[in-house]
Amino acid sequence: MSNAAIIENPILRGFHPDPSWTWHNGRAWLATSSFGLIPGLPIHTSTDLVHWQPAAPAIDENMGAKLFLKYIHDDTRGVFAPSIRSIGGALVIVSTVVSIEVDRALADGCDPDELRAMREANGNFALVSHDDGRTWEGPHWVSGAVGNDPDLFVDADGTAWWLAAHQSYNQRWPYQSDVYLRRLDMNSWTLSGPEHVLWHGALEGAVWAESPHLFRHDGMYYLLAAEAGTSRLHAQSVARSSTLIEYFEGNPANPILTHRNLGSRYPVQNIGHCDVLRDDRSRWWGVCLGSRLVEGLSFMGREPFIFPVAWEDGWPVFAPGTGLVPRFVDAHTGRAAVVEPDDRTDTGTDGAISRIPADQLLRSPRQPGWLWTKVDHTDFAVFAGRARELRIQQTESDYAALTIDPIAREAQAIVVAHGTAETVWSGEYSDDIEYSIRLNGSILEFRAESPERQGADDHPAADSTTLTVRAGEVPITGTAAGGYPIPAASSPAAPPTSTLLASRSAAFLSTEEAGGYLGCLAGALR
């Protein structure tokens, strides 16, 4: 089978959580969460669902300032769960800015009227592009919106509706949630009319019915909602109704997609937060988030996975035949595919060095001076170059750092777990050494390399406008159901030019121990 026709999951590596997509002008447009990072709300496009190209992000420096991202409470806040839709020839994104420090923003001289508009919208906003995502208008604060994870639905009669989730007003169990609908004026971006509660979720006692998406098929309205949070119990459910504003009927087969029944060490976990589209050949596809594990731990956060969708008895069937998100999908037939082991790319580390230019790096207004990239492989090293400090970071309180003082001729390797720092190595700084931090499967390594022992083309040293990384995959021991590789307990050998300075378990960098929503970032402070 030609690899040109094979969708390989995850379709984007490194954290790209909360995927939403739409079919627009002959291609799929996929948007994902970015929290406090800039560029934010990254968008990728594809004509075949196999090959994905980055488009212009919806949030640049200017838009980030308008969204007050400098003032989010911590790096797990900011822009959550976008929905992207094609409406009247335009692309529209709706999303939420979660939890900013208003007093600090006012003290810095931010526009009080804009802050008031943001608060009246509870952080809910819309962005609009009339030129296929090249530029974005907004933010349009949606006055009167409450809750989070919004979606935008336009009915057949042209009426626009705002869909979102919030905690139930009269909870029968802790964290019971309502999925609600209100009429939306897209000219003034205001809501009107009563709030229609459509659903509480599929399972009695389930927490956080959220990430709702609404669509039509054969005259019926269908409502998607994720349940039980974004970790091991995450699951996707669906309900339907013949009338838009009535309470929806849940599918007796719910949840229609989850990996929570496969055991905590299955290679892909946390499946949920689904969205669907119909392509220009009238085929239905779904996208969801999931986390790849190494030794039961997730370091790369939540990534987008594609699966086929079929229809039976008036209900969508996600990943028909197996109920698992497949590793490989035939883009022509929409069926899970089998790829021979010799064709796989993850049987070991390839040790490929790449230099990431500044225009592809991420910045956080909360950590000025830092340049970041997403850790997107199970074996990932970042090099110090001319940096004063190097990090692999899960949260601002959980990171591995290597600090360099060329004047005092000192270098230190530091581990910070839940805000508590520990020095694991210190030594004399040398101009002849290239220092690195390596996330090697579930092991953290601080290393030193001698540039003299490498060819000029392989020299990893970075300048002030790039970040240099070496990426590959840890070896695998076998293949699980769904075609996913099982990472080996042993990690790949280090390059021959490398010297180990210190190592320890990397568990403190995992989402399971550190918490948060992102996934590991690798970065340098110049």
Q: Residues with Cβ < 8 Å from 54, sequence gap 6 or more?
A: 42, 43, 44
Question: Which residue do the tokens 């991202």 mark?
Answer: 69
Q: Which helix (H) or strand (E) holds 242?
A: none
Residue type, 92: V
Cα 42 from Cα 55, distance rounded (Å): 8
Cα 67 from Cα 83, distance rounded (Å): 17
Please say whether the beta carbons of 274 and 215 come within 8 A: no
Cα 107 from Cα 157, distance rounded (Å): 46
Structure tokens given for 169: 């007003």
Strands 443-449 and 434-440 come out as: antiparallel
User: Does the active-site annotation cover 210?
Assistant: yes
Structure tokens given for 520: 């590991």
From the candidates 8, 151, 210, 473, give the one annotated as an active-site residue.
210
Distances 331 to 276, 285, 311, 420 between C-alpha atoms, Å = 15, 10, 18, 48
The backbone torsions φ and ψ at residue 294, rounded to the nearest 5 degrees and listed phi first, read -125, 120
Q: How many CA atoms lie within 13 A of 349 on its CB side?
A: 24
Percentages helix, strand, coil for the chain (3-state, rounded to 5) are 10, 45, 45
User: Does the active-site annotation cover 113?
Assistant: no
Alpha helix ranges (H) inside 55-101: 61-66
Cα 72 from Cα 210, distance rounded (Å): 22
Cα 308 from Cα 317, distance rounded (Å): 8
Structure tokens given for 339: 């790829």
Cα 217 from Cα 287, distance rounded (Å): 18
**Residues annotated as part of the active site:** 18, 210
